[in-house]
Amino acid sequence: MTIKKKLFEIICLLLFLHVKMTATKVPEVRDITRIERIGAHSHIRGLGLDDALEPRQVCQGMVGQLAARRAAGIILEMIKDGHIAGRAVLIAGQPGTGKTAIAMGIAQSLGQDTPFTAIAGSEIFSLEMSKTEALSQAFRKAIGVRIKEETEIIEGEVVEIQIDRPATGTGTKVGKLTLKTTEMETIYDLGSKMIESLSKERVQAGDVITIDKATGKINKLGRSFTRARDYDAMGAQTQFVQCPEGELQKRKEVVHTVSLHEIDVINSRTQGFLALFSGDTGEIKSEVREQINAKVSEWREEGKAEIIPGVLFIDEVHMLDMECFSFLNRALESDLSPVLIMATNRGITRIRGTNYQSPHGIPIDLLDRLIIIATSPYSEKETRQILKIRYEEEDVELSEEALTVLTRIGLETSLRYAIQLISTAGVVCRKRGGTEVQVEDIKRVYSLFLDESRSSQYMKEYQDSFLFNETQAAQMDTS
């Protein structure tokens, strides 16, 4: 049975490949390359759930937080279906319990097609832009519009170009262009305009070209493989392509996804499209936004566009003030609204800009609209696993004992501090010529770098010798 099943899968695969080549092409174009350095959450590949949305203990870089991940998985499914819009989720928990990790996991499992915008709560405060403008831009960045472009093209390999010049030197040139695909071959008569653009593109026999039927624009795709040995000396940038298959005159359909914000920017007249280069978009008038909303909904009714509600993630949401929260209340109710995910590590605290106390530093009326996911501190075993994933990610070898010591440190101080020690210990280890980080290396960096509690201990002891010390230690106020 298993062999049969295997065979069946292989056949399916072959069939798939075969059909894929022949089916009408609808390639998805998205050429945003993400340059990834080793960031704090670079090891996260997804939420680590199985098909039944049950979380695996260790999977895709996620460890523990089973309940929170299961909850996030359900929300993820709702987002993927695209049916919910204007919902908001709050991820709440102590510092270092994986709130951002869960948000990153959601972002990773959404895939390329769903827009995901991440901002930090403090990012919206700027002199050039009002807070609400920054927020609405973030909102609109998180909504994608899917559109389709359709062009009739002639695609083929150039077999021959023949250009007749009149004997007098002046007058109209005429010519012939022979194009072929694997299935067919035909001759086109050329006018003087076409000849001009062909010679401008330096098209010669053996090139694979496309001609846009509507505009007559010629595009060189590369040289055909069969002509690869025509010349020995070839520029390094010469690209070789297969001779096209099928019919010569094709219909090409390309699906693009753009965000509402991008459409806003090109239509914001005072800025022009130059704004896209400088990145300085300034404020966008609400009339422009309304016009665009109208246009997009018109397209949607005509079946020309699909709206993809994406995800807006606001980290450190307690940094928003009262005005922002009331704006969020309002913005969530619009029909073009993404799913809002917020994260905070605050307990009952003052709402920024007011004297009112509220859970998570968020007004009660907004809290009422939220689904709240709680994260809890990691256990010893989970801490150990996270550290293990991290040292693999950072390319540092760690001995068993060193890992145990590090886990201890992680539990007693903080997980972030322990993760910091991995790379620093790695450097110390390399300096002494070792390949594997030992307990001594950990001890050394532990003595070199203070964690938060030891640092504050030190402060308390040597308070008097620092400058500007105030004897009465004021409570830290971040709001």
Task: Decide if residue 246 touches another protein (CB under 8 A).
Answer: yes
8 Å CB contact between 158 and 206: yes
Q: Which of 6, 10, 15, 286 binds another protein (CB under 8 A)?
A: 15
Q: Which stretch binds another protein (CB under 8 A): 98-106, 179-187, 223-231, 374-382?
A: 179-187
Site for another protein contains 305 (CB under 8 A): yes
**Closest distance to another protein from the beta carbon of 368 (Å):** 35
Contacts with another protein, 135-154, as mask; x by CB under 8 A: -----------xxxxx----
One of 123, 201, 283, 306 touching another protein (CB under 8 A):
306
CB 244 within 8 A of CB 157: yes
- Judged by CB under 8 A, the residue of 3, 19, 233, 476 near another protein is 19
Residues in 105-124 at the binding interface with another protein, rule: CB under 8 A: 113
17 touches another protein (CB under 8 A):
no
Q: Which stretch binds another protein (CB under 8 A): 100-108, 257-265, 398-406, 458-466?
A: 257-265
Instruction: Tell me which residues in 322-351 interact with another protein (CB under 8 A).
Output: none
Q: Which is nearer to another protein, 26 or 40 (CB)?
A: 26
243 binds another protein (CB under 8 A): no
The C-alpha torsion from 204 through 210 and 213 to 214, rounded to 10°, is -100
Which pairing describes strands 311-315 and 116-120: parallel, antiparallel, or unpaired? parallel
Q: Are 184 and 248 within 8 A, CB to CB?
A: yes
302 binds another protein (CB under 8 A): yes
- What is d(CA 255, CA 146) in angstroms, rounded to the nearest whole number? 7
We find the least distance from the C-beta atom of residue 209 to another protein, in angstroms, to be 16
Task: From 258-266, 319-327, 348-356, 426-434, give the range in contact with another protein by CB under 8 A.
Answer: 258-266
In the complex with another protein, which residue's Cβ is closer, 250 or 444?
Answer: 250
* Binds another protein (CB under 8 A): choice among 158, 263, 398, 437: 263
Assess 41 for contact with another protein (CB under 8 A): no
Q: Which residues of this chain interact with another protein, rule CB under 8 A?
A: 1, 4, 8, 11-12, 15-16, 18-19, 22-24, 26, 28-29, 113, 146-150, 183-184, 186-187, 189, 214, 246-249, 251, 253, 255-256, 258, 262-263, 265-267, 273, 276-277, 299, 302-306
